[in-house]
Amino acid sequence: MADSEIVFPGDELGVAEQFMPGDGAYEEDGMVYAARVGEAELDPGSFEARVRPRTQTPATLDDGDIVIGRVTSIRKSFVSVDLEANAAEPGRELPEVGSGTLHISKISPDYLDQIEDAFRIGDLIRARVIDDDPSIQLLTKDDGLGVLVARCPKCRTVMETKGDGLVCPACEWKERAKMAADYGLGNLLPPDNVDELMEQREQAQRDHGIDFPPRPQYSPGNGD
Ligand SMILES: [Zn+2]
């Protein structure tokens, strides 16, 4: 990981054999992770991995802004998203808006039977603010919006794209998702070549894609 990179809670900073968790970091299962949004610092002198907090001047959040957030709950017709950064101003704290809501009709240009075919709790996503008053409403229909990073639900490995779905490189778990065109590339804002990336994905799906089965049907009270 490059120095001064903006990281989000849960992002890997390094292995615990090499770095101790410093300010804004924690250790779990031999890995050091970010505990907050900020700039990652790997200090080779003290062997500490730290996350420097962002500046206190709050970023504003308005209609049309692109935000980075984490899926925290999935209901039958909407998703709750913890808003972690304005993608255009990642170094600034967000105002106390808490979370945003993403309705099932605003998730994908394709018809969705169930939200579980697009998102999973814990997914890091990029969304656009379509209403900021009285509460933040989000949209991920565009090609440049959707999941940026997803972890395998079985083994927690970061999933990779395969055609128009995601596959775990460790245990081969596969699933559908509404991915941003640049899934896994580490961008905060959508890149300029979204159309080109979508064409590559469609070609990959035709050449060696998988038919991703629908996920198990939503049942209330199953916890996630
Ligand atoms: Zn896995």
Is residue 163's pLDDT more than 70?
yes
Cis peptide preceding 95, ω within 30 of 0: no
Give residue 133 CA to ligand 1 midpoint distance, Å. 39
**In angstroms, what is the span from residue 122 Cα to ligand 1's centroid?**
15
The pLDDT of residue 56 is 63
Q: Which positions ≥6 away from 224 have C-beta within 8 Å?
A: 74, 120, 121
Give phi and psi for 116, each to the nearest 5. -60, -15
Rg of the Cα trace of the chain?
A: 18
Vertex 90: Cα angle to 150 and 185 (nearest 5): 40
Confidence at residue 90, expressed as pLDDT on a 0 to 100 scale = 79
pLDDT of residue 210: 80
CA of 176 to the centre of ligand 1 (A): 14
Q: Is 198 helix (H, G, I), strand (E, B) or coil?
A: helix
pLDDT band (50, 70, 90) for residue 196 = very high
Average pLDDT over all residues of the chain? 88
Q: Determine the average pLDDT of the residues in 157-176.
A: 92
How far away, in angstroms, is 172 Cα from ligand 1 center? 6
Using an 8 Å Cβ cutoff, are 178 and 161 in contact? no
DSSP annotation string for 18-75: T-EE-TTEEEETTEEEESSSEEEEEETTTTEEEEEEPBSSPPP--TT-EEEEEEEEE-
Centroid of ligand 1 to alpha carbon of 121 (angstroms):
15
- Per-residue pLDDT tens digits for 50-66: 998 876 666 678 899 99
Domains annotated on the chain, with CATH: 6-53 (2.40.50.100), 66-190 (2.40.50.140)
What confidence score (pLDDT) does residue 59 get?
A: 64
Ligand 1 centroid vs 171 CA: distance in angstroms?
4
d(CA 85, CA 96): 12
Pick the range with the lowest mean pLDDT from 38-52, 56-70, 97-111, 183-197: 56-70
pLDDT above 90 covers a percentage of the chain that reads 63
Cα(198) to centroid(ligand 1), Å: 25
Tokens of 22: 């410093």
pLDDT at site 57 = 62
**pLDDT band for position 208 (cuts 50, 70, 90):** confident
Given this model, what pLDDT does residue 217 score? 58
- Neighbouring CB atoms inside 10 A of 95's CB total 12
Q: Ligand 1 centre from 170 Cα, in Å?
A: 5
Three-state secondary structure call for residue 13: strand
For 72-124, what is each residue's pLDDT tens digit?
A: 999 999 999 999 888 988 777 776 667 899 999 999 999 898 999 999 999 99
Centre of ligand 1 to C-alpha 156, Å, is: 6
* The pLDDT of residue 224: 45
